[in-house]
Chain A
Amino acid sequence: MKLTDISGNVNEWFDGSGPLADIVISSRIRLARNIAGHKFLSRCSAAEKSEILKKLRDMLMSLELGEKIFYLSVDKTSLLGRHFLVERHLISRHHAFGKGPRGAVIARREFFTAMINEEDHLRIQVLKGGCQLSQCYEQINHIDDMIEQKVDYAFSPRYGYLTACPTNLGTGIRVSVMLHLPALKMTGQIEKFLNATRDMGLAVRGLFGEGSEAAGDFYQISNQATLGVSESDIISLFENAIIPEIVEYENAARNQLLSKEPEVLDDKIARAMALLRNAHLISSQEALFLLSHLRMGINMREHMGASTPAIEKLSELSDASRGTDKSETLSIRTINRLFMLTQPAHLQLNCGKQLGPERRDALRAEIIRSALNG
């Protein structure tokens, strides 16, 4: 399989489906594992790394996942290809730009990825759209059971699964949810929310873009402690306490905007619409922020029945594009698609050549204009 086979489409976990998907974009569970009898990677020679890579690759490719899987030799993938895999959340930045023999096994529909020789010998992840942590765990646990039949994991009764960094020790589990919180940002409550989540011992990061800033109001929340707490307890904390609370706050903020500051809300949406439909140069950072406002507007209409002048305009926009007999309409799916496909490596891979920043900004603006102008 080639990367261009998937680069033209949005990943299944980002297609706007799944429970609570208007706020919870996706759920992800990752497990860190190491093979008994081998050193951790920092102490492995290139030969030992290659040996681990081959062993794990052969084992993973023989798994019955009920889905086509393919293998990528990450150290032999082009720089652009590696950027693409990071943009798509298939591999980590650390894995993409690391050193030495390393690889990734990816399921065709991208719900499952295994990274071989990242920080640990093996890191497996399952991703699903919306709030589906229990389903993610069920699936990854099953895959982990299958792997365990074929290799011996480094495990101690006291410390559980042994990982290269003690911060992943125990269950080796990282539970993450990706959230879209534009109203908390607009109402100035986001810092309060970020501090509260950090106080709970959770890590908060941006979902898109490089630094720590959450571009486009997308946040990723993950557990930090992995030892002394069971997988099911961590998941239940997210599903029964953390996620419902955040969703409630974001919804309250959206209602507050509607009832108290409809002009502020409409201004954001209308400006975003005007810029996105007319700009000829647009940076990825700007696109993320503007698309975020459109996404919020559409979701407020669909989930809360909101009807302000700007939101009405948005729905006309959507009707207009439906009328043109195009299969794509201005749905959340289309907006999500724009988020994904206008990232730098996606743009370049899809047009088949390397582009400088200015050319990318022009192409990005063109793609967005044509999607929003019907």
Chain B
Amino acid sequence: MYCQNCQKKEATIHLTEITDGLRTETHLCEHCAQEEGIAVKSQLSINELLSSLLASQPSDDEVFGDSKQNISCPHCGSTLEQFTKDAVLGCPYDYEVFGKSLLPLIKKAHNGKKTHCGKVPSKASTGTKEQIELMKLRQELKAAVQNEDYELAAELRDKINQREK
């Protein structure tokens, strides 16, 4: 069945209304249904998610009593407001400049995680590599303890101690 509005797309939203005993049926495609304000969007768009997340935390204004919310990145000129519109950041430094405001969003997007534990470019300094390796080991240790795998936990603890020497 085609959408009765645009006559082009398959109708996937079927609405039956009964007003004063009178029954009317409406068959629309998702697009037209949204235009009519009938359909419930299946997923929040990234922009909506961003706005709601950034809005739900106390703004820096409230915390610091200044207008930090309006700061822009000295490297690219981006602002948080711009980010909530575009859903993309302006430059790599934004992660530092807006770090505090972005953190809840980052955690939300990555199941509560906030530190990298994957591949490291071979060009990265040895310090960086060791740091990441250590973080990864600590995470594994935590998981091993949670799973009550004490043998593995002891092994991991030894590895961590060795690296920290």
Contact = CB atoms under 8 A, between A and B. Distances in A.
B110 to A, nearest CB: 4
A167 B90 CA distance: 14
A206 interface: no
A166 B89 contact: yes
Nearest to B29: A211
B121 A153 contact: yes
Nearest to B9: A211
B97 interface: no
B23 interface: no
Interface in A152-167: 152-162, 164-167
Interface string A283-327: 001000000000000000000000000000000000000000000
A38 B118 CA distance: 23
A145 B122 contact: yes
A368 interface: no
B78 A229 contact: no
A227 B132 CA distance: 12
Interface string A122-142: 000000000000000000010
Contact of A211 (B30, B116, B123): B30
A34 interface: yes
Contacts of B15: none
Interface in A23-56: 34, 36, 38-43
B145 interface: no
A224 interface: yes
Nearest to A41: B88
A212 B110 contact: no
Interface SS of chain A: loop
B60 to A, nearest CB: 18
B128 A43 contact: no
Residue among B75, B89, B111, B139 with most chain A CB within 10 A: B89
A41 B132 CA distance: 28
B152 interface: no
Contact of A170 (B87, B90, B118): B118
A229 B120 CA distance: 13
Interface string A218-246: 00000011111111000000000000000
B27 to A, nearest CB: 15
B144 to A, nearest CB: 14
Contact of A157 (B109, B113, B128): B128
B87 A162 contact: no
Contact of A40 (B89, B117, B120): B89
A173 interface: yes
Contacts of B4: none
Given A211-B30, A227-B116, A228-B116, A154 B110 contact: no
Contacts of A154: 92
B153 to A, nearest CB: 18
A162 B98 CA distance: 14
B95 A162 contact: yes
A93 B103 CA distance: 29
B162 interface: no
A15 B73 CA distance: 49
Given A157-B132, A166-B109, A167-B109, A229 B88 contact: no
A39 B91 CA distance: 4
Given A40-B88, A225-B110, A229-B113, 5 more contacts: A40-B76, A40-B92, A42-B89, A171-B119, A225-B113
18 contacts: A36-B92, A43-B78, A43-B90, A156-B92, A157-B124, A157-B128, A158-B114, A160-B116, A160-B120, A165-B87, A165-B88, A165-B89, A169-B95, A171-B119, A226-B110, A228-B111, A228-B113, A229-B117
Across the A-B interface, the 5 shortest Cβ-Cβ residue pairs? A228-B113, A160-B116, A171-B118, A227-B110, A43-B90
